[in-house]
Amino acid sequence: MLLIISDASVLIDIEHGELTSIMFSLPYQFSVPDILFYMVLKYMAPSGL
């Protein structure tokens, strides 16, 4: 199942709650809009993304 997250606050809350590894261990594929990535998540992600 594909889940699209279109609000940065959802991902920020997941990170602050230290739930990122749990989230990515679920049997889902996550996607975010390009604009969300470039405006917010690019600066939170490890280098190489």
Write out pLDDT tens, residues 23-44: 889 898 888 777 766 766 666 6
**The two structure tokens encoding residue 4:** 């699209």
Write out pLDDT tens, residues 10-28: 878 888 999 989 988 989 8
What is the residue whose two structure tokens read 């917010």?
A: 40
For residues 1 and 29, the answer to whether their CB atoms sit within 8 Å is yes
8-state DSSP, 46 = P
Cα distance between residue 19 and residue 22, in whole Å: 5
Element (H, E) at 29: strand 29-31
